[in-house]
Amino acid sequence: MTISAAERTALREAVRDLLRDACTEQDVRRVMNSGDGFDRGLWRQLAELGVVGMLIDPGYGGSGLGSLELEAVTEETGAALLPSPFISSGVLAASLIQAAGPPEDQKRLLPGIASGESIATVALTGKRGTWAPDGVDVTAGADGTLTGGARYVTFGQAADVILVAARTADGIGVFEVAPDAPGFTRTAESVFDPTVRLSAFAFDRTPARRLGTAGWGAVQAALDLAVLALAGEQAGGARRILDITVEYLKTRIQFGRPIGSFQALKHFAADLLLEVESATSAAQHAAAEHAAAEHAAAEHAAAEHATAEHAAAAGLPGAAAGAVALAGFTCAEAFETTALYAIQMHGGIGFTWEHPAHLFLRRARSGAQLFGGSRAHRERYLVSKGA
Amino acid sequence: MTGIPAPEELRAEVKAWLAQHWTKLPHEPAGDQHARPARAAWLGKVLAAGYAVPTWPTAWHGRGYPNELADAIEHEFAAAGAPGARQDKYSIPANTVLKFGTETLKRDIIQDVLTGQATTCLFYSEPGAGSDLAGVRTTAVRDGDHWVVNGQKVWTSSAATADYALLIARTDWDVPKHRGLSYFVVPMHQPGIEVRPLVQITGESHFNEVFITDAVVPGEYLVGAEGDGWRVLQTALAYERSIMGDGARASRHHTLADDLIGLAREHGRLDDPVLRYHLAKVLALRELNALNNARAKAAAEQGTSSSIMSLGKLAMANILHAEAGLRTEIAGPETLLAGAENPEADDINFLTLNAFFTSIGGGTNQIQRNIIGERVLGLPKEPEIDRNIPFRQVRRS
């Protein structure tokens, strides 16, 4: 479903207002030191606002929105450094279930995810962290049990719906594992970015159910949305830390004048503005291309009576894949560059734990690795251009 | 003032007029306006029909139209491929003179400029006043009913054929630098003006340096008030900025398709992971710039302002330098060579040098970053130690 630009702006502003009150820097610091790593009260509010289930079909309790709305919302969540399982549960897992089917599993799992009562995660990669088929270190046995391990599982400790990509005789399959299944253990990882929690999963002949016949095509479709969401967060995060830095340049006085009057710093700021605007353009363009591709696929599916699963397996057309990949690496790099320079431009105060600049850098660095990383996005971008 | 027609009515009128009058112009040598009679005749017709400057008053060849309506005329001319319409949007000299010039000056030059019979060049930059344009030292001194000008100008394009120059010169050395400037239109065809081609690092020569010795300017050719030249110049520069292209010109031999991927493939470098990294970077820079421009355009259409416009020149300079570096990396030792017998290397070397055209010309990247920092991000200016002292006392190189 697509809504008007005005409605999209209203949604974005509602999210911004909520986060301005409920996700201040103090809140982020409180939550990042908590056991869960996210604020359950705020999570409920985000669910009530329709954010958590925004991508989920209205028939399953969601808002049925698309990539354009996702991008707009994530610019705000990224700016606020919102620590939450939204991308993990509401984007990656929800869209994987929607792409993988089957309907009975969708009916069983999606309403809880949409309402925020369930938190889902997807274990997609092993130690190598490629978020590609070659990185999967879990194998499904002939008896349907899973054995192996997964790393970098986003908000894995909090999850009660657990999806796992595993090798099968016919390629990668998507499985569901009960949180209390025998042979399944999860361990919280020590993380560099305390606003995005990660877990290591281990499976030892763990009973599992395969979701339909979905393969890596469905996973890739879900990853595309997760990358898009990350790109939006990165564009928003980069803009916020630049704003904070520019404000500091105007108010910090040394040598009798605001340090922003020094060209050494002013020129960094100008270059960073170009980074921020380019990241915003890239994220919004990716969302537009993705939305157009989804729209075309839906029309095609309706005409052909094909299932969502088939559409997902077909993958994004080249232009949309290229646009998502472009956003994937350029937004990550823009955010990291902006956050790195922000610390330098703040000088001593930027090197302190109490200043938020390092929180932005931590978030930039986690986003630059998750769901594929810049190297993979760069390659996919080149391939989309025929290189 | 004539009545204001509906846009579709106007479009039909222009379409019919073009159908009746427009035929493709014969080939005439570019460069010397005096040797292009067919073009001049056509521009005269456009002017007489009221299409050259439709937003101007009727007393000055216009129709008093609002911009949106005038754009309809431009659209029809563009569709027909006919030149000459909408110079109220594009002509720096005509607009500046209309706005600030004396009646005599307007009568003397506006019609000739709009019909292409007179061309102009800009006497702005000097060897000692580049980024700091308000520091010009070319001096105009009043002598009875005229002015006498002495000094040196640089980076002047088309000076060899121009009929007039738009000059910013110092008329008072005893006030702070911005306040002692005046703006003039200078007749070029006189002995006091010597034009010499300036050779660029590429070996080409698109600009001149101009030596001005006791050149004479009629009193009525002062544009705006004496001492008000900086304000007039700002208006003229605003017209210039609104029409400036991206500054990137084509390569010399046109051997280089835009296709960087093709170039890498030809050189067997497409599998090199380091090269692929740089290739993705350059392709992304290009695409991001196009996306930024599209977003700025969309914002402008919705009437919201965007900070992106002011970033474009900086972005383009980055792209041109990065792209030249990538091409050099792909071609490798071939770039040791030059000349027509090595067209690919020659092009790459040309692009490497010519990237500075964009990162220096029209304001260096450093000045551009100051502008972005100050006008877009609102950062404070550097203290200007020359601002409030008489220009005579300002330190110079």
Q: Are residues B203 and B151 in the same domain?
A: yes
Q: Supply the pLDDT for residue A63.
A: 95
Q: Are residues B124 and B236 in the same domain?
A: yes
pLDDT in tens, B125-177: 999 998 899 999 999 999 999 999 999 999 998 899 999 999 999 999 999 99
Q: Supply the pLDDT for residue B250.
A: 44
Report the mean per-residue pLDDT for chain B.
90
**B101: in domain:** no
Residue B122 has pLDDT above 50, yes or no: yes
The alpha carbon of residue A337 is apart from the nearest alpha carbon of chain B, in Å, by 14
**B144: in domain:** yes
Task: Kindly list the residues from chain B whose CB atom is less than 8 angstroms away from the CB atom of residue A386.
Answer: 261
Instruction: Please provide the CATH number assigned to the domain covering A216-384.
Output: 1.20.140.10
Across A206-225, average pLDDT: 95
- Residues A327, A227 contacting (CB under 8 angstroms): yes
Task: Kindly list the residues from chain B whose CB atom is less than 8 angstroms away from the CB atom of residue A280.
Answer: 295
Please give the torsion angle defined by the CA atoms of residues A13, A16, A17 and A21, in that order, rounded to the nearest 10 degrees: 180
**B104: in domain:** no
Last residue of a domain, one of B48, B75, B90: B90
Domain with CATH 1.10.540.10 in chain A: 5-115
Residue B179 has pLDDT above 80, yes or no: yes
**B389: in domain:** no
Q: Are residues B146 and B201 in the same domain?
A: yes
The pTM for the full model equals 0.88
Question: What is the ipTM, given to two decimal places?
Answer: 0.90
Residue B362 has pLDDT above 90, yes or no: no
Confidence of residue B397 (pLDDT cuts 50, 70, 90): confident
- The two structure tokens encoding residue A129: 């962290």
**B385: in domain:** no
Question: Which residues of B have a catalytic role annotated?
Answer: 240
Across B39-51, average pLDDT: 94
> Any chain A CB within 8 A of the CB of B380?
yes
Q: Are residues B232 and B326 in the same domain?
A: no
- Residues A55, A90 contacting (CB under 8 angstroms): yes
Partner-chain residue, chosen from A246, A330, A382, that has the shortest CB–CB distance to B288? A330
Partner-chain residue, chosen from B276, B277, B288, that has the shortest CB–CB distance to A278? B288
Interface test with A, best of B258, B266, B275, B288 (most A CBs within 10 A): B288
d(CA A338, CA A334): 6
Q: Supply the pLDDT for residue A307.
A: 59
Confidence of residue A218 (pLDDT cuts 50, 70, 90): very high
Residue A196 has pLDDT above 90, yes or no: yes
Interface test with A, best of B377, B382, B384, B385 (most A CBs within 10 A): B377
d(CA A342, CA A244): 9
d(CA B225, CA B223): 7
Closest-CA residue to B149 (of B197, B105, B103, B184) = B184
Is the preceding omega at residue A102 within 30 degrees of 0, hence cis?
Answer: yes
**B210: in domain:** yes
Confidence of residue B239 (pLDDT cuts 50, 70, 90): confident
The alpha carbon of residue B397 is apart from the nearest alpha carbon of chain A, in Å, by 21
Q: Supply the pLDDT for residue B30.
A: 73
Confidence of residue B67 (pLDDT cuts 50, 70, 90): confident
Task: Kindly list the residues from chain B whose CB atom is less than 8 angstroms away from the CB atom of residue A269.
Answer: 372-373, 377, 379
Partner-chain residue, chosen from A261, A271, A280, that has the shortest CB–CB distance to B369? A271
What 3-state DSSP class applies to B198?
A: strand
Q: Supply the pLDDT for residue A371.
A: 96
pLDDT in tens, A11-63: 999 999 999 999 999 999 999 999 999 999 999 999 999 999 999 999 999 99
Into how many domains does chain B fold? 3
Q: Are residues B290 and B239 in the same domain?
A: no
pLDDT in tens, A150-171: 999 999 999 999 999 999 999 9
d(CA A109, CA A120): 9
DSSP category for residue B336: G
d(CA A213, CA B225): 81
**B367: in domain:** no
Q: Are residues B31 and B142 in the same domain?
A: no
Q: Are residues B221 and B317 in the same domain?
A: no
- Chain A positions contacting chain B at CB under 8 Å are 246, 249-250, 257-258, 260-263, 266-267, 269-271, 273-274, 277-278, 280-282, 284-285, 326, 329-330, 378-379, 381-382, 385-387
CA B217 to chain CA mean position, Å: 24
Domain limits at B30? 7-90
CA B117 to chain CA mean position, Å: 19
> Is B279–A382 a contact, with Cβ atoms under 8 angstroms apart?
yes
Across A65-82, average pLDDT: 98
The percentage of residues in chain A with a pLDDT greater than 90, rounded to a whole number, is 90
**B371: in domain:** no
- Residues B348, B202 contacting (CB under 8 angstroms): no
Sequence-ordered alpha helix ranges (H) in B27-66: 37-49
d(CA A29, CA A22): 12
Q: Which amino acid type is present at position A139?
A: T
Residue A248 has pLDDT above 60, yes or no: yes
Residue A354 has pLDDT above 80, yes or no: yes
Residue B245 has pLDDT above 50, yes or no: no
> Any chain A CB within 8 A of the CB of B384?
no
d(CA B220, CA B146): 8
Please report the number of interchain residue pairs, chain A to chain B, with beta-carbon separation below 8 angstroms: 110
pLDDT in tens, A119-130: 999 999 999 999
CATH topology assigned to domain A5-115:
Butyryl-Coa Dehydrogenase, subunit A; domain 1 (1.10.540)
Confidence of residue B290 (pLDDT cuts 50, 70, 90): very high
Q: Which sign does the torsion angle of CA B237, B239, B242, B246 carry?
A: negative
d(CA A263, CA B367): 10
pLDDT in tens, A293-339: 988 888 887 777 665 556 555 678 888 999 999 999 999 999 999 99
Task: Kindly list the residues from chain A whose CB atom is less than 8 angstroms away from the CB atom of residue B315.
Answer: 274, 278
Confidence of residue B257 (pLDDT cuts 50, 70, 90): very low
Across B186-200, average pLDDT: 96
Residue B248 has pLDDT above 80, yes or no: no
Q: Supply the pLDDT for residue A173.
A: 96
> Is A270–B283 a contact, with Cβ atoms under 8 angstroms apart?
no
Domain with CATH 1.20.140.10 in chain A: 216-384
Q: Are residues B128 and B237 in the same domain?
A: yes
Q: Are residues B239 and B274 in the same domain?
A: no
Q: Which amino acid type is present at position A382?
A: L
Q: Which residue has the tokens 């014969």?
A: B26
Residue B249 has pLDDT above 60, yes or no: no
Residue B265 has pLDDT above 90, yes or no: yes
To which CATH superfamily is domain A120-210 assigned? Butyryl-CoA Dehydrogenase, subunit A, domain 2 (2.40.110.10)
Residue A235 has pLDDT above 70, yes or no: yes
> Is B264–A386 a contact, with Cβ atoms under 8 angstroms apart?
no
Angle made by CA atoms B335, B340, B344, in degrees to the nearest 5: 40
Residue B244 has pLDDT above 50, yes or no: no
- The two structure tokens encoding residue A274: 């170009």
Task: Kindly list the residues from chain B whose CB atom is less than 8 angstroms away from the CB atom of residue A284.
Answer: 295
* CA distances to A83, A85, A261 from A190, in Å: 16, 17, 41
Across A234-260, average pLDDT: 97
Residue A262 has pLDDT above 70, yes or no: yes
CA B247 to chain CA mean position, Å: 9
pLDDT in tens, B19-39: 999 999 888 877 677 778 899
Burial code of A67-91, b = ≥16 C-beta within 10 A, e = fewer?
Answer: bbbbbbbbbbbbbbbbbbbbbbbbb
Partner-chain residue, chosen from B261, B295, B377, that has the shortest CB–CB distance to A387? B261
Across A261-267, average pLDDT: 97
User: Picking from A78-92, A278-292, B162-176, B252-266, which range would have the lowest pLDDT averaged per residue?
Assistant: B252-266
User: In the 3-class helix/strand/coil scheme, how is chain A assigned residue by residue?
Assistant: CCCCHHHHHHHHHHHHHHHHHHCCHHHHHHHHCCCCCCCHHHHHHHHHCCCCCCCCCHHHCCCCCCHHHHHHHHHHHHHCCCCCCHHHHHHHHHHHHHHHCCHHHHHHHHHHHHHCCCCEEEECCCCCCCCCHHHCCEEECCCCEEEEEEEEEECCCCCCEEEEEEEECCEEEEEEECCCCCCEEEEECCCCCCCCCEEEEEEEEEECEECCCCCHHHHHHHHHHHHHHHHHHHHHHHHHHHHHHHHHHHHCEECCEEHHHCHHHHHHHHHHHHHHHHHHHHHHHHHHHHHHHHHHHHHHHHHHCCCHHHHHHHCCCHHHHHHHHHHHHHHHHHHHHHHHHHHHHHHHHHHCCCCCHHHHHHHHHHHCCHHHHHHHHHHHHHHHCCC
Pairing assessment for the beta strands B181-187 and B120-123 based on DSSP bridges? unpaired
d(CA A339, CA A363): 9
Partner-chain residue, chosen from A249, A261, A281, that has the shortest CB–CB distance to B291? A281
Burial code of B71-96, b = ≥16 C-beta within 10 A, e = fewer?
Answer: bbbbebbeebebebbbbbbebbbbbb
Task: Kindly list the residues from chain B whose CB atom is less than 8 angstroms away from the CB atom of residue A282.
Answer: 288, 291
> Is A266–B270 a contact, with Cβ atoms under 8 angstroms apart?
no
In terms of C-beta density within 10 A (0-12 exposed, 13-18 middle, 19 or more buried), how is residue B257 classed?
exposed
d(CA A11, CA A62): 15
Confidence of residue B242 (pLDDT cuts 50, 70, 90): low
d(CA B157, CA B357): 13
**CA nearest to B278 within chain A:** A378
Task: Kindly list the residues from chain A whose CB atom is less than 8 angstroms away from the CB atom of residue B291.
Answer: 278, 281-282, 285
